[in-house]
């Protein structure tokens, strides 16, 4: 039987994930020579070439390397789960919890979650990656993230998922708007005004599809990937926006005031979901993160402050 070590697999996967010997060595805090040696030893043990190096020094898996990747991830996860089983008492949790989350959800979920873990599980390090929703789910599927946080409307159907929070779509308007006194707004009442969307794929497509499903055509202007830019544009009276999640603050970045008013039209159901790798059970870190987000979503506002 080939002699394969945990370190060899760890270094091999690091090169796969970071694209080069040098980048993986920086991530692992070891020398490039140590990474190269581990890969060479792994290739010798398996009697197969696992990586090709381009002139730009990028490392690309060979066919044999591609075949090894999912099995190496399963092996590394099994080792981690074995360690977790020994220390599954939540008071003794340790290690890293890898989260992948879209930037539109991150401000709502990540800061209180990190604070919760620092307070209750200080030996757990929260590693956060912000990506688009398709990339997040691809990372989860490949075992590069322990928990992905995405919207239901962007869910890949092959991934196990759990509801973290139900959301209701809102219109965002300046506090001086003619409809600011309303408890709800039909989109036809505001559709002639410019829509200033948060431009984070595929959220912008979901928003426009939802509006068009009502037979309405949005007049889109000044899309931005930055929530605060959108909120400030709206506070200046330049248009309205469409948010799934409502910030607690009604004051924009530059001091303008806003109103968040529920949409009265029947909109597609949407939720914040936690997605995990198929065939992999939750460990205690993932379970704790899911429970905290769910509890925070269901708690009265003054209990979450």
Residues 191 and 256 in one domain: yes
* d(C-alpha 61, C-alpha 46), whole Å: 14
* DSSP classification of residue 213: T
- Does some domain include residue 220? yes
pLDDT value, residue 84: 65
Give the rounded percent of residues in the chain with a pLDDT score beyond 70.
92
Residues 278 and 146 in one domain: yes
Closest CA to 168 of 156, 180, 151, 182: 151
Residues 118 and 159 in one domain: yes
Question: Mean of the pLDDT values across residues 4-25?
Answer: 89
Residues 280 and 197 in one domain: no
* d(C-alpha 305, C-alpha 301), whole Å: 7
Largest CA distance in the chain: 75
- Does some domain include residue 275? yes
Integer-rounded Cα Rg, in Å, for the chain is 23
Q: Would you state the structure tokens that stand for residue 5, as one six-digit string? A: 């070590």
| Residue range of the domain that includes 241 | 170-262
Beta bridge partners of 300: none
* d(C-alpha 69, C-alpha 75), whole Å: 10
Question: Mean of the pLDDT values across residues 35-49?
Answer: 90
* CATH number of domain containing 41: 1.10.10.10
Answer with the one of 83, 112, 132 that is the final residue of a domain: 83
CB 224 within 8 A of CB 199: yes
Question: Mean of the pLDDT values across residues 207-221?
Answer: 91
Question: Mean of the pLDDT values across residues 237-263?
Answer: 92
Residues 64 and 11 in one domain: yes
Question: Mean of the pLDDT values across residues 254-258?
Answer: 92
Residues 275 and 162 in one domain: yes
One DSSP character per residue, 151-204 reads EGGG--TTS-EEEEEEE--EEEEETTSTTTT-S-B-GGGTTTSEE--B--TTHH
pLDDT value, residue 92: 65
pLDDT at 304 over 80: no
- pLDDT tens string 98-116: 999 998 899 999 999 999 9
* CATH number of domain containing 244: 3.40.190.10
Centroid of chain to Cα 111: 13
Question: Mean of the pLDDT values across residues 131-151?
Answer: 92
* d(C-alpha 221, C-alpha 223), whole Å: 6
Question: Mean of the pLDDT values across residues 114-121?
Answer: 94
What's the Cα-to-Cα distance from 295 to each of 3, 81, 292, rounded to whole Å?
46, 25, 5
pLDDT at 91 over 80: no
pLDDT value, residue 305: 35
* d(C-alpha 238, C-alpha 214), whole Å: 23
- Does some domain include residue 290? yes
Residues 162 and 176 in one domain: no
Residues 101 and 228 in one domain: no
pLDDT value, residue 131: 93
Average pLDDT, the chain: 88
Residues 187 and 250 in one domain: yes
CB 230 within 8 A of CB 93: no
* d(C-alpha 13, C-alpha 64), whole Å: 13
Answer with the one of 57, 83, 109 that is the final residue of a domain: 83
pTM above 0.85, yes or no: no
Beta bridge partners of 149: 101, 274
Q: Rounded to 5 degrees, what are φ and ψ at 285?
A: -65, -45
pLDDT bracket for residue 135 (50, 70, 90): very high
pLDDT value, residue 49: 92
* d(C-alpha 114, C-alpha 122), whole Å: 10
Q: How many domains does the chain have?
A: 3
- Does some domain include residue 1? no
Cβ count within 10 A of residue 246: 17
Closest CA to 284 of 84, 121, 146: 84
pLDDT value, residue 303: 42
């Amino acid at each position: 039987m080939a002699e394969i070590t945990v370190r060899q697999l760890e270094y091999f996967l690091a090169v796969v994930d970071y694209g080069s010997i040098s980048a993986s060595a920086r991530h692992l805090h070891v020398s490039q020579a140590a990474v190269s040696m581990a890969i060479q030893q792994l290739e010798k043990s398996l009697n197969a070439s696992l990586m090709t190096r381009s002139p730009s020094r990028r490392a690309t898996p060979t066919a044999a390397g591609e075949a090894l990747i999912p099995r190496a991830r399963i092996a590394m996860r099994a080792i981690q789960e074995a360690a977790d089983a020994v220390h599954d008492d939540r008071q003794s949790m340790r290690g890293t919890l890898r989260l992948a989350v879209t930037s539109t959800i991150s401000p709502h979920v990540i800061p209180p979650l990190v604070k919760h873990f620092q307070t209750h599980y200080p030996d757990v390090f929260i590693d956060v990656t912000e990506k688009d929703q398709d990339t997040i789910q691809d990372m989860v599927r490949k075992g590069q993230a322990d928990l992905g946080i995405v919207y239901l409307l962007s869910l890949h159907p092959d991934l196990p998922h759990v509801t973290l929070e139900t959301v209701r779509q809102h219109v965002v308007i300046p506090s001086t708007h003619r409809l600011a006194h309303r408890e709800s707004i039909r989109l036809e009442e505001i559709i002639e005004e410019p829509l200033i969307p948060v431009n984070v794929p595929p959220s912008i497509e979901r928003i426009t599809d939802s509006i068009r499903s009502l037979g309405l055509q949005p007049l889109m202007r000044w899309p931005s990937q930055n929530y605060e830019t959108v909120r400030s544009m709206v506070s200046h009276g330049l248009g309205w926006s469409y948010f799934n999640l409502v910030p607690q603050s009604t004051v924009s970045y530059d001091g303008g005031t806003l109103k968040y008013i529920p949409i009265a039209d029947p909109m597609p159901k949407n939720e914040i979901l936690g997605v995990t790798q198929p065939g992999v059970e939750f460990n205690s870190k993932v379970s704790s993160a899911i429970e905290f987000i769910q509890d925070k979503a269901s708690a009265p506002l003054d209990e979450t402050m």
